[in-house]
Structure 1
Amino acid sequence: MRGRLLVAACAVALLAGCAKPRPPLYLWESFPRQQYDALQRGGAGAQEQIAALEEHVVKARAQNAALPPGLRAHLGMLKLSIGDPGEARQLWLAEKLAFPESAPYMDQLLKRLDGPAAKTEKPA
């Protein structure tokens, strides 16, 4: 009985060791560190960050991998910082679509982007 149990345990361990690991849900790479550095104001300039994030997007698409939460939003903030509000808007709308839980924050950013001249919707 003990021998069978040992053989079964070894077989399970061997099969578990051979199992293909699940790929990560998102292609994170250096995004969290880059975002941290940018928020600490010690990182690269906006143009360099934009180039790195856009390269990240291209790599993710080539690997058919999902972009991590916040990447589009952060890229939108960077685009706004260099004077491209149209691209910022598109990125924030894309973030909202990809991650519906981000909608309240994205809506707030979009509202601020529109400024005080924006029309508010009134319930019918």
Structure 2
Amino acid sequence: MRSTVLAPCIAIICIFASGCATKPQPLYSWNEYQPQVYEYLKNDGSNAPEDQLLKLEEAQEKVRASGRALPPGFRAHMALLYSKSGNQEKTIEQLTAEKQNFPESIAFMDLLLNTFTGKKN
């Protein structure tokens, strides 16, 4: 009788213990995003946007290659930098991508898109 109760208990303990042994992977790959935002804010946005864009574009490619997702705000920050460099097409592209990937940002992204295009979205 004792072994019939003991065996399932040991099996359950092993299942729970193996579940605790695996480390969950983060949902987003933050990569170069946070240091670039910090650099932008530290210098009041006075650095050339092209330098930051190059680093963020490289980070974006690394994230795509790893199969992970870009974090919230990554594309919006790139849109800000593209707008500062005068590339309106890329600005709109990045704001639209941010809106599609993070539906909770739709209202704000629509406001920004309206600012850049002059149209209601």
User: TM exceeds 0.5?
Assistant: yes
Match for 1:22: what amino acid?
P
Query: What residue number does 1:38 align with?
Result: 40
Which stretch shows the higher mean deviation, 32-41 or 57-66?
A: 32-41
Distance across 2 between alignment mates of 1:98 and 1:68: 10
| Stretches of structure 2 lacking an aligned partner (at least 5 in a row) | 1-5
1:21 to 20, 23, 37: 23
TM-score, normalization by structure 1? 0.75
Which stretch shows the higher mean deviation, 41-50 or 83-92?
A: 41-50
Measured against aligned partners, the alpha-carbon deviations of 1:61-107 in whole angstroms (never above 9, x if no partner) come to: 11001000000000011011111001100110000000011111111
TM-score, normalization by structure 2? 0.77
Match for 1:61: what amino acid?
R
The reply to whether residue 56 of structure 1 matches residue 59 of structure 2 is: yes
Distance across 1 between alignment mates of 2:22 and 2:17: 12
1:112 to 95, 112, 115: 115
Q: How many residues align?
A: 110
Would you identify which runs of 4 or more consecutive aligned residues in structure 1 move more than 3 Å?
10-17, 118-121
Match for 2:63: what amino acid?
A
Deviation at 1:30, TM superposition (A): 2.9
Identity of aligned residues (%): 35
| Stretches of structure 1 lacking an aligned partner (at least 5 in a row) | none
